[in-house]
Amino acid sequence: MNQTLGVAPDLTCLKPQGSLQSLTTFRVGGPAEWLAMPRHRRELEDLLAWAIAADLPITFLGAGSNLLISDRGIFGLVICTRRWRSTEFDDSGRVTAAAGEPLPTLAWKAAKLGCRGLEWAVGIPGTVGGAVVMNAGAHGGCAADVLVSTTVLAPDLTPLRLTPADLQFQYRTSALQGGRQVVLEATFQLKPGHDPALVVADTLAGLNQRRATQPYDRPSCGSVFRNPYPHTAGTLIEKTGLKGYRLGNAQISERHANFIVNLGGATATDIRRLIHHVQNEVEQNWAVRLRPEVKFMGEFLDF
Ligand SMILES: Cc1cc2nc3c(=O)[nH]c(=O)nc-3n(C[C@H](O)[C@H](O)[C@H](O)COP(=O)(O)OP(=O)(O)OC[C@H]3O[C@@H](n4cnc5c(N)ncnc54)[C@H](O)[C@@H]3O)c2cc1C
- Minimum CA distance residue for ligand 1 atom 28: 64
What value, to the nearest 5°, has the Cα angle with vertex 260 and ends 257 and 262? 145
Look up 172 and say whether it is catalytic. yes
Q: Does residue 126 have its Cβ closer than 6 Å to ligand 1?
A: yes
Provide the whole-model pTM. 0.95
pLDDT given at position 40: 87
- Minimum CA distance residue for ligand 1 atom 35: 130
Ligand 1 pocket test, candidate residues 27, 43, 66, most atoms within 8 A of CB: 66
Q: Ligand 1 centre from 288 Cα, in Å?
A: 25
pLDDT given at position 6: 57
What's the rounded Cα separation, in Å, for the pair 196 and 151? 29
What CATH architecture does domain 87-213 belong to?
A: 2-Layer Sandwich (3.30)
Ligand 1 pocket test, candidate residues 27, 65, 217, most atoms within 8 A of CB: 65
Phi-psi region of 276 (alpha: psi -120 to 50; beta: other; left: phi over 0): alpha
Question: CA–CA distance from 232 to each of 42, 210, 214 (Å)?
Answer: 44, 16, 15
Residue type, 154: A
Look up 223 and say whether it is catalytic. yes
For the chain, where are the alpha helices, taking DSSP H only? 41-53, 103-112, 128-134, 143-146, 164-167, 196-213, 233-239, 268-286
> Top-level CATH class of 233-296?
alpha beta
Sign of CA dihedral 176, 181, 184, 189: negative
Q: Which atom of ligand 1 is nearest to the CA of 64?
A: 30
Residue type, 194: H
Question: CA–CA distance from 215 to each of 12, 218, 220, 255 (Å)?
Answer: 37, 6, 8, 6
What's the rounded Cα separation, in Å, for the pair 82 and 180? 18
CATH of 14-80, one of 3.40.309.10, 1.10.1740.10, 3.30.43.10, 3.90.380.10: 3.30.43.10
The count of residues in the chain is 303
Q: Does residue 186 have its Cβ closer than 6 Å to ligand 1?
A: no
The closest of 187, 165, 168, 186 to 177, measured between CA atoms, is 168
Same fold, 14-80 and 233-296: no
What's the rounded Cα separation, in Å, for the pair 257 and 214? 9
Q: Ligand 1 centre from 159 Cα, in Å?
A: 22
Sequential pLDDT tens for the chain (303 residues): 444 455 667 778 899 999 999 999 999 999 999 999 998 888 999 999 999 999 999 999 999 999 999 999 999 999 999 999 999 999 999 999 999 999 999 999 999 999 999 999 999 999 999 999 999 999 999 999 999 999 999 988 999 999 999 999 999 999 999 878 999 999 999 999 999 999 999 999 999 999 999 999 999 999 999 999 999 999 999 999 999 999 999 999 999 999 999 999 999 999 999 999 999 999 999 999 999 999 999 999 867
- Minimum CA distance residue for ligand 1 atom 3: 222
Ligand 1 pocket test, candidate residues 61, 146, 182, most atoms within 8 A of CB: 61
- Minimum CA distance residue for ligand 1 atom 49: 177
Look up 27 and say whether it is catalytic. no
Q: Does residue 5 have its Cβ closer than 6 Å to ligand 1?
A: no
pLDDT given at position 178: 84
DSSP secondary-structure letter at 184?
A: E
Catalytic hit among 82, 116, 172, 272: 172
Domain residues of the chain, as ranges? Answer: 14-80, 87-213, 233-296
Burial of 217 (0-12, 13-18, 19+ CB in 10 A): exposed
pLDDT given at position 5: 56
